[in-house]
Amino acid sequence: MAQQASQQATYQAALAQEWESFKAPPAKEIATPPKPGDKAPVHPNLSLPKDKPTVIVFLRHCGCPFAEKVFKTLTHLSSQHKDVHFIGVSHSSPEATERWVIQVGGNWDVEVVIDHERELYAQWGLGMSTTWHVLSPRVLYQTLQLGKAENIWNRPTESGTRWQISGAFAVAAVADAADAEEGGGKVCWAHVAGSADDLPDFAAALGALGIEAKMPPRPAPEEASYGIP
């Protein structure tokens, strides 16, 4: 009986966490997303190196299979392109992010930045999505296809919101002393997700920096459980 009660409590806690991820978070003032040619936004919680280009990815919540796919690709690229600085930004809590990063294989050479208050997301023009963005038939179908093709499935959502829009940007190294004083480099490539399954084209991101991407091979498919992105 005690074991059954413990299992029931664990299930109820997990269900409560999943329910929390569907609640609308506090509203933020959302800036216009930087486009190619713009200066990268400057924030004390996000330092971009001045001596090398950067690829920065703003992730969906920890547990999302699309966030896992993106992060795994980012970690692979970080080992293949030492001349590029890779950053993954998470709006899940520090504890949940740390556990998730370990679950998906580690951060390799990716710098993980925690933005639990979503200030960086807002500064880079990434606001809240719609129900269609997250739960359209196409997104649910792509969730299933990702699991079947690459064995990447939904994980428990401990923290974060499903409504946060993801995005990615490529930023060139600082070109001159004037840019160095202002802080940020120049944005060369930008991608704001149009739906939960709209993943960044990392080959295009690195190509905008003049680098040919060494993309990871696709893993063998394996059946597993289903879930909501």
Sketch the domain layout of the chain as residue ranges. Answer: 48-208
User: Token pair for residue 57?
Assistant: 């990815």
Domain 48-208 fold is Glutaredoxin (3.40.30)
Evaluate if residue 6 carries a pLDDT over 50.
no
d(Cα 101, Cα 62) in Å, to the nearest integer?
Answer: 8
What pTM was computed for the model? 0.88
pLDDT confidence of residue 202: 98
Backbone region of residue 63 per phi and psi (left: phi > 0; alpha: psi in -120 to 50; beta: other values)? left
pLDDT confidence of residue 159: 94
Computed over every residue of the chain, the mean pLDDT equals: 89
Tens of pLDDT, residues 203-228: 999 999 999 999 998 766 555 555 67
Q: Would you place residue 72 in the very low, low, confident or very high pLDDT band (cuts 50, 70, 90)? A: very high
Name all contacts of 74-77 with Cβ < 8 Å and 24+ positions apart.
74/110, 74/202, 75/105, 75/106, 75/107, 75/108, 75/109, 75/110, 76/108, 76/215, 76/216, 77/202, 77/206, 77/213, 77/214, 77/215, 77/216
Evaluate if residue 127 carries a pLDDT over 70.
yes
